[in-house]
Structure 1
Amino acid sequence: MQVSALSRLSLFVCFVLLSVPPLRADEPPPLLDRIDRSSFTVSGLSSGAAMAVQIGVAHSSRVGGVGIVSGPPYLCAQGFVTRATNDCLVLGRERLRELFGPLFGLSLFSSGERDIDTEDLVADTRKMARQRRIDPVDGIARQRVWEYRGEKDGVVGTKASLAQHDFYRSLGARTKRAAPRATPHTMPTGDPTQGACDSTDEDFVSGCDFDAAGELLRHLRRKPSARAEETDGQWYALNQADFVPSGPTDADATRRALGLAESARVFVPRRCTEERCQIHVALHGCKQGMNDASYRAFTEGAGYPRWAGPLKLVLLFPRVRAIEPFERGPWDSIGNPLGCWDWWGYTTPGNLYGYATREAPQMRTIVNMVDHLMRSH
């Protein structure tokens, strides 16, 4: 029997679709009866780096290390999206107007870098600790911090990056700044198949001859001589609505209002089902959680899974989605159109600094997922 060209094409398309594993895994999650329940580490890119810093500061008694790729310092936005975009970033007025509307085209918004008062940020952090909104700052001095910003980064400027470094140094953290390289605002990898190392790479995971994930993870785990291996383990998904803070509405409605995607991916290397491992939370940047292709580029292509086995890490990849302007009501004219983690307050309107405390709803969701993995036995 002859097969028509259309039938052959249909068969090929079906084969391709079936050969791509779904984001939701049907297999039951593996048992993690030897997981380290005393601490975890966290890292991120861009807004994910900002969230990683917030988790590290707010939960400093539990977080042993923070990896930062192109992120602003703690409390940089001071609770205002205008300050986030104008003081902490260097996107330029026209780009801000394109993203957030005509308000950001006003002359009071500049495209240059502004000085950031690190002493003020440190003072506010200490005050929040005294108010018990975050853990005591003594915990920050016990953390290992790895920082990187590319020389061609056109989003996070040099002043914000230096302020972040000074913030950690002021609080006694053990910091390591990776040597600058000519990379843009992206997650640099050593994999040339991840795309060009320039601003045209729209999934923000790029082949830059530099394995940022490997560098930061080896530093946080104190294993500088570790070598990456072929990925060997199991992926599965967590329903993020199961971990959002309880409220007056149903959990899925709360998840959507917080800008959280339906699920987060977890990778468990084979050896972590038999040996003691630690949890590492890896947070994508803006836009990277808005579609499955970009989210996969970060979870699978940024380099983390290749280090999970050698460094004995269970990887958690939380995911945030976009919130369109006015999606949540007439009061929300800005929303979160680029799918960024909350580092200026869109999840805690009217609560100054609420987005950066232990009670911040996105942060509580992430920590709840960490606690769930720690209890998975």
Structure 2
Amino acid sequence: MKIVRPSEIMFVLALANVALMVHAVPYTVSGVSSGGYMAQQMHIAYSSTVAGAAIVAAGPYHCSMGSTARVQTACTVNPWLINLPSSVTAANNYAADGAIDPISNLNNDKVFIFSGTSDQRILQSVVQQTLNFYTELAPTINITTMFDIPANHGWVTKVEGNPCWYLGPPYVVACGVDLSGIIYSTLYGTPVAKGNFNNSNLFMFDQSDYGDVWQAGMSTRGFMYANEYCRSNPAKCPLHVNFHGCEQSYQTLGLTYIKEMGFGEWAETNLVIIMFPQAMESIENPEGCWDFWGYTGSNFEVKAGLQPTIIQNMTQNYLTIAQNLV
């Protein structure tokens, strides 16, 4: 896989950027664990462009209030410490100040929330508060939940990964349920039957073209799965962004999470492009989690946050990235 550098094709990129100044490119998001928190943060912060979200094993927006201690308690194993009114108030105040897009953009969006009954890392009662948060913040939002699968912590598949009850890397658990397919159906409608993961359709691109990844705690490597048709006709293929969880990045697992979690099989036969942004391990973030408590700064959950800004920049240039995957 060759790293794609859009900076090498300045004329095409310039044209794309002019177009994006007029029309923002919509996309959907999903993620597991810290990636579930990041998917939710992107949905709340950039609701004018994020059209739907699937949140797997993650608590509500603003759960940590910028505190590492709360990450280890309220946001994982002690829902009694979650201050839901504070989360709703924070979102409304951010919107009033222009730090995030207007809350009204969330009306009628499709949201999918999943939690396994046997999750030992982020308890189902914590994830229940994510449902409560969305319901309070945007009462007309279109929410689907799945809370009845006896899965431990991780991304759920039919057959790939560890046994359904297992807790540990790569945090992909085989529970007889194709979570990626269910999410695709929820966000995009009934898909064409899935194909097989095709290594030749998975590409690496350079995340550092879109911001200071070092300061943001992100890798230079990002990945995109796009079949041949979507690489030739990216404007006809919507973008879905999936965020890995802690201990699931390329730096930690290589391509294991991307290859086992199931989205590639659906992208192979359907008109959708999957982007897999990558966080990076550091002293402040030893497990390579996405920032939902402030290790990149106090604005981690709003549009000006280092990670949200880079991710948004990448999504708004996905047409260019996809056209030049080689």
> What TM-score results when the alignment is normalised by the length of structure 2?
0.86
Indicate conservation of the 8 Å contact 2:3/2:206, yes or no. Answer: no
Residue number among 39, 43, 56 corresponding to 1:52 in the alignment: 39
- Look at both structures and tell me which one has the larger radius of gyration over its CA atoms: 1
User: 1:68–1:147: 8 Å Cα contact kept in structure 2?
Assistant: yes
Alignment of 1:301-340 (within 5 A): 301-324=260-283, 335-340=284-289
Does residue 63 of the first structure (1) align with residue 12 of the second (2)? no
1:291 equivalent to 2:251? Answer yes
Q: Residue 34 of structure 2 contacts residue 290 of structure 2 at CA under 8 Å; is this kept in 1?
A: yes
Alpha carbons 1:67, 1:217 under 8 Å: kept: no
Instruction: Give, as a single letter, the amino acid of the residue that structure 2 aligns with 1:296.
Output: L
Structure-to-structure mapping, 1:173-184, within 5 angstroms: 173-184=141-152
- Which stretches of structure 1, 4 residues or longer, exceed 4 Å deviation after superposition? 26-29
Q: Distance in 1 between matches of 2:226 and 2:46?
A: 24
Alpha-carbon distance, 1:128 to partner: 0.5
Deviation (angstroms), 1:38: 3.5
Match of 2:182 in 1: 215
Q: Judge conservation of contact 1:221–1:311 (CA < 8 Å) in 2.
A: no
Flag the 1:243–1:27 CA change in 2: closer, same or farther, 3 A: closer
User: SS at the partner of 1:366?
Assistant: helix
Q: Tell me, what secondary structure is at the counterpart of 2:156?
A: strand
Q: Bigger shift: 281-290 or 305-314?
A: 305-314
Provide the alpha-carbon RMSD of the alignment: 2.4
Q: Distance in 2 between matches of 1:26 and 1:61?
A: 30
Contact 2:24/2:49 (CA < 8 Å) preserved in 1?
no
1:159 is matched with which residue?
125
- The residue that corresponds to 1:103 in the other structure is none
Task: Give the aligned residue type for 2:243.
Answer: L
* Separation in structure 2 between the aligned mates of residue 54 and residue 374 of structure 1, nearest angstrom: 23
Question: Does residue 300 in structure 1 map to residue 259 in structure 2?
Answer: yes
Q: Distance in 2 between matches of 1:168 and 1:226?
A: 30
> Are 2:94 and 1:122 equivalent residues in the alignment?
no
Alpha carbons of 1:290 and 1:26: their partners in 2 closer, same or farther (altered >3 Å)? closer
Q: Aligned equivalents of 1:151 and 1:320: distance in 2?
A: 28
Which residue does the alignment assign to 2:9? Answer: none
Matched, 1:195 2:153: no
Partner of 1:355: 300
Query: 1:211-251: CA deviations, max 9, x gaps?
Result: 1111111101122x54212235622211122111xxxxxxx
Deviations 1:130-155 (A, max 9, x none): 00000000111131101100011111
In the superposition, the TM-score normalised over structure 1's length comes to: 0.75
Whether contact under 8 Å (1:290, 1:339) holds in the other structure is no
Structure 2 CA distance for aligned equivalents of residues 179 and 226 of structure 1:
26
Q: Is the 8 A contact 2:95 2:102 kept in 1?
A: yes
Contact 1:63/1:143 (8 A) holds in 2? no
Offset from partner CA, 1:152-171 (integer Å, 9 cap, x none): 11111233211100111121
Amino acid across the alignment from 2:171: F
| Displacement of 1:83 | 1.4
Number of residues paired by the alignment? 305
Q: Shift of residue 201 of structure 1?
A: 4.1
Which sections of structure 2, spanning at least 5 residues, go unmatched?
7-11
CA distance in 1, matches of 2:277, 2:256: 14
Distance 1:282 1:55 in 2: 11
State the SS of the aligned residue for 2:203.
strand
Q: Deviations over 1:312-344 (max 9, x none)?
A: 1111101111112xxxxxxxxxx1111110000
Q: Percent of aligned pairs with the same residue?
A: 25
Alignment of 1:4-19 (within 5 A): none
Gap regions ≥5 residues in structure 1: 1-23, 91-111, 245-253, 325-334
Q: Map Cα deviations across residues 31-56 of structure 1 (whole Å, 9 max, x no partner).
A: 999x9964100100100010000000
Q: 1:229 to 1:127 in 2, by over 3 A?
A: same
- Classify the secondary structure of the residue corresponding to 2:72: helix
2:228 counterpart of 1:260: no
Aligned residue type for 2:183 = L
